[in-house]
Amino acid sequence: MNKSYAAGLTDIGKLRKENQDAFFIDQEEGFFLVVDGMGGMQNGALAARYVKENLFMLLKKGLANLQESEAQDIIAAVKEVVSVLSKNLREKVGKETGAAFVSALLKGKEAYIAHFGDCRAYLFQQGVIQKLTKEHNIAALLVDMKKITPEEARNHPMRNRLTAYLSMEGKAIPEVKQIILKSGDRLLLCTDGLTGMIPEKEISALLGEKENPKKALKKLIARANEAGGDDNITGVLIDFQ
């Protein structure tokens, strides 16, 4: 069992009529997930629920079939499982649905971070915050092309146009990376309803207050709502010991 303590919270925000976010925690197995459904009323909630109910189940099967558990084998297994889930979501729930997600799989001191879309993962280590993921949207592409700055991308009209997501056409291959955790590290997984409202500096300051994960998430969500609460807000915070 991984020595970690985690909490998850989700909030409808100030403007939406339905919460289309979801989260999943299996502390015993070291799996943590945040998902942001898309596809209009009800479709987004259906997509989020499907991912929440199926991703870890598929991953457990995929990892059980591994002969070895070298980092590259785990990464390949995660990519394959997400690809299968994306295809299943499109076929079983419908082409009008989709989802962005970010997940963490803890194996001892190693964490495998997988993501698709605009959900984010942050590592907070010794008072310094580090973004572990990169958004799959048109605004991020424009930053890469040096057409806009990262600051401009925060409020750019194309930040909600995803270039990769679960249920997309073709083979969906997520980004997966391995990181090494140290005692005292915090991992934050969250939807864009949080990061779209609160700048990174403020997220870092709130994580640095050393509140337990549930209290820290409550503060983050309250702050996002104070800033406007334009979207559903969801986070999972993991304290690694």
List, for residues 100-136, the tens digit of each pLDDT value: 999 999 999 999 999 999 999 999 999 999 999 998 7
Q: What percentage of the chain reaches a pLDDT higher than 90?
A: 76
With vertex at residue 25, the alpha carbon angle to CA 165 and CA 218, rounded to the nearest 5 degrees, is: 90
- Four-CA torsion 16, 21, 48, 175, nearest 10 degrees: 130
With a cut of 80, say whether residue 174 has pLDDT above it.
Answer: yes
Structural fold of domain 4-240: Phosphatase 2c; domain 1 (3.60.40)
Query: 103, 114 in Cβ contact below 8 A?
Result: yes
What is the model's pTM? 0.93
Which among 218, 236, 237, 233 has a CA at the least distance from the CA of 36?
233
pLDDT tens per residue, range 25-83: 999 999 999 999 997 767 899 999 999 999 999 999 999 888 777 899 999 999 999 99
Other C-beta atoms closer than 10 Å to the C-beta of 91 total 10
Q: What region, left, alpha or beta, does residue 117 occupy, with left being phi > 0 and alpha being psi -120 to 50 degrees?
A: left
Query: 148, 116 in Cβ contact below 8 A?
Result: no
